[in-house]
Structure 1
Amino acid sequence: MSVLALAFMQRALVAALLSGLMSPAVGTYVVQRRLSLLGDGLGHVAIAGVGLALVTGWAPTPVAIIICVIGAVAIELARQSGKAPADVGLAILFYGGLATGVLMAGISGRGTGVLSQYLFGSLTTVNFSDVIVVAVMAVVIVALCLGLAPQLFAVCADEDYARSQGLPVRALELCIVVMASVTVGVSMRTVGLLLVSAMMVVPAAAANNLVTGFHRSLLTSMGIGLAVSAVGVIGSYYWNTASGATIVVSAIVVFMVSAPVGSWLNRRRSLMSADDPIVRAASGHDPCGRTRVAAGARGVRHVQHGDHVDHLPTTDSGVPAEVPDP
């Protein structure tokens, strides 16, 4: 029987693909901000939300998302005000959320065993309403990540520069942590709260190995997330393994392969740039001591510099003259 002929596997695959698209999109900004452990901290806060849901009898996913957002916003505001360093804030997220969740699970009388499906994911138990929630949140998160890409990247790369350009830095920083919180809460049924951080970080890191440029990295990380999610869900069915763990291990394998491939691609780009006379002219330096620029090049002045020739851009027009070798 084909795996896709089973209704529960269809729901599991759709939910995993949506999470695989959403998590790296947010994770790209998290990695840029050097907050790779943020997902772990938010995952522990979501455990507190699950514990609260067990005590009150409410639906776990919405409660976990709300608690996650409140905790993340509180820590981010404290960090921005200088009242709590980033590492202290993450520590509070880690230990406070985990302890509160376990405590509430005990109060509910259901013990800590019920938390396992949220800690490690339970794709096969995803129902149609869960898929709808994941789909709606994925559309919102991906739209924000792509639509606000220039502003969010500016904040992640250089807060001072972004502030000098008139960008609402605090609001954009809050936007990132809120999107990360929603992603963690939504993905707890797919890869689990303990593993969702890996899906936010590993595809983004693998994409950084393979491509250059922020937008390429963002799109590549989302593609990797989709691929490893599909492989993880289908592979877990045939290998009889946990779906969340299989997805994360697949992502790590991609990262391990991307490291040597990325090194080879970087060397190839360097060689291509070194052989391009226009690139040498634009850089103003010819390490090989060559005396000519590509035919028809304009606005370049040749200056003898020791044992080589520098090609300096100028405002002059016309074909530059040849400079003799020393």
Structure 2
Amino acid sequence: MELFDIFLEPFFQRALIGGILIGITAPLMGTFLVLRRLSMIGDTLAHVSIAGVALGFLINVYPLAVGLIFAILASFAIEWLRKAYKSYAELSIAIIMSGGVALATFLFTLGKGFNMNVTTFFFGNIYTLDQADLWIVFGVFVAVLLTILTYFKEFFLMFFDEEAASVSGLPVRIFNIVITILTSLVIVAAIKIVGALLVSALLTIPVACSLLIAKSFKQSIFISVLISEIAVVVGLFVAGVWNSAPGATIVLSLIVMLIVILMKKRIKV
């Protein structure tokens, strides 16, 4: 019974709540990002937001708030470049990611004389979540869930055929901006949980798993969320018992599930 005593610890309970909430929102947004061929946008916005976090430390402003501003600006830049390079949309991600890494490195250099504890934002530490962090994650969860439930049909049409959606009268530009802002919110909320280096895994790997076994779009969303939640709970439990990095164990749990599903699919074929 001692093995499960960790579930009684307040820090673990906070981590579990935060992980479960982000475990729902990340694959929800990830499904739409995959449909837009923007699977790597998570990595890009995470690296740009780290530059914002560094600036926040330098100017003594709440780092995640500055990181969110940077992420939103970067997502708008990606959308603008995506329109400029219609045949090479992936260039927008590469350009912004390069700029984000360069800016973050530059700001870290400026902050050498300061106490800049950015390790948590790079690698994540879900056990350090406090009450304020939980409220932020919960706010992002509510915003994402309400928006997707309200405009599910519109998003579905837009991401499968943006031109048809535009012709039918949908305000495609506004919906793109909404998705852009929601994606930035999810990424910034997830950074402290799994870290900037692993945040895209929560957005994409559950979706990759679901695409192999789902028979419909709605089923794909449900399965991706389920897989994400299993990985969060298992990953946190393993990390708590073995005293390992929680973000890493969550992502490794996702990869193990993906490998298992791929092997089963191969056996059936």
Give the TM-score normalised by the residue count of structure 1: 0.76
Superposed CA offset, 1:71-108 (max 9, x none): 11122123235599422221222121122122212323
Partner of 1:8: 11
Q: 1:110–1:32: structure 2 CA closer, same or farther, 3 Å change rule? A: farther
Q: What CA distance in whole angstroms lies between the structure 1 residues aligned with 2:187 and 2:109?
A: 23
Retained in 2: the 8 A contact 1:54–1:104?
A: no
Superposed CA offset, 1:102-145 (max 9, x none): 22123233579732210110111111110111111111112222
Matched, 1:97 2:100: yes
Partner of 2:259: 256
Q: What CA distance in whole angstroms lies between the structure 2 residues aligned with 1:172 and 1:261?
A: 38
Deviates more, 1:81-90 or 1:143-152: 81-90
- For structure 2, which runs of at least 5 residues remain unmatched after alignment? none
Deviates more, 1:114-123 or 1:101-110: 101-110
Matched, 1:174 2:180: no
Q: What CA distance in whole angstroms lies between the structure 1 residues aligned with 2:12 and 2:135?
A: 15
Matched, 1:200 2:199: no
C-alpha deviation, 1:263, in angstroms: 6.1
Give the one of 105, 123, 129 matched to 2:126: 123
Superposed CA offset, 1:242-280 (max 9, x none): 100100111111111222445678x7xxxxxxxxxxxxx
Q: 1:164–1:260: structure 2 CA closer, same or farther, 3 Å change rule? A: farther
Count of residue correspondences: 266
Q: 1:110–1:117: structure 2 CA closer, same or farther, 3 Å change rule? A: farther
Higher relative contact order (CA 8 A, sep 6+): 2
C-alpha deviation, 1:192, in angstroms: 0.6
Q: 1:4–1:66: structure 2 CA closer, same or farther, 3 Å change rule? A: same
C-alpha deviation, 1:30, in angstroms: 0.7
C-alpha deviation, 1:189, in angstroms: 0.4
Give the one of 46, 52, 64 matched to 1:61: 64
Within a 5 Å distance, the mapping from 1:78-97 to structure 2 comes to 78-82=81-85, 85-97=88-100
Superposed CA offset, 1:148-195 (max 9, x none): 222112121111221222112222222222221111111000011111
Partner of 1:141: 144
Q: What CA distance in whole angstroms lies between the structure 2 residues aligned with 1:52 and 1:113?
A: 10
- For structure 1, which runs of at least 5 residues remain unmatched after alignment? 268-326
Within a 5 Å distance, the mapping from 1:270-309 to structure 2 comes to none
Superposed CA offset, 1:271-317 (max 9, x none): xxxxxxxxxxxxxxxxxxxxxxxxxxxxxxxxxxxxxxxxxxxxxxx
Give the TM-score normalised by the residue count of structure 2: 0.92
Retained in 2: the 8 A contact 1:49–1:67?
A: yes
Retained in 1: the 8 A contact 2:46–2:188?
A: yes
Retained in 1: the 8 A contact 2:54–2:116?
A: no
Q: What CA distance in whole angstroms lies between the structure 2 residues aligned with 1:88 and 1:111?
A: 35
Give the one of 51, 65, 71 matched to 2:54: 51
Matched, 1:186 2:189: yes
Retained in 1: the 8 A contact 2:55–2:66?
A: yes
- Give the fraction of aligned pairs with identical amino acids, expressed as a percent: 32
Partner of 2:78: 75
Higher Rg of the two aligned structures: 1
Partner of 2:27: 24
Give the one of 230, 237, 240 matched to 2:240: 237
Matched, 1:224 2:193: no
Q: 1:91–1:173: structure 2 CA closer, same or farther, 3 Å change rule? A: same
Q: What CA distance in whole angstroms lies between the structure 1 residues aligned with 2:55 and 2:66?
A: 8
Q: 1:50–1:5: structure 2 CA closer, same or farther, 3 Å change rule? A: same
Partner of 1:215: 218
Q: What CA distance in whole angstroms lies between the structure 2 residues aligned with 1:88 and 1:255?
A: 28
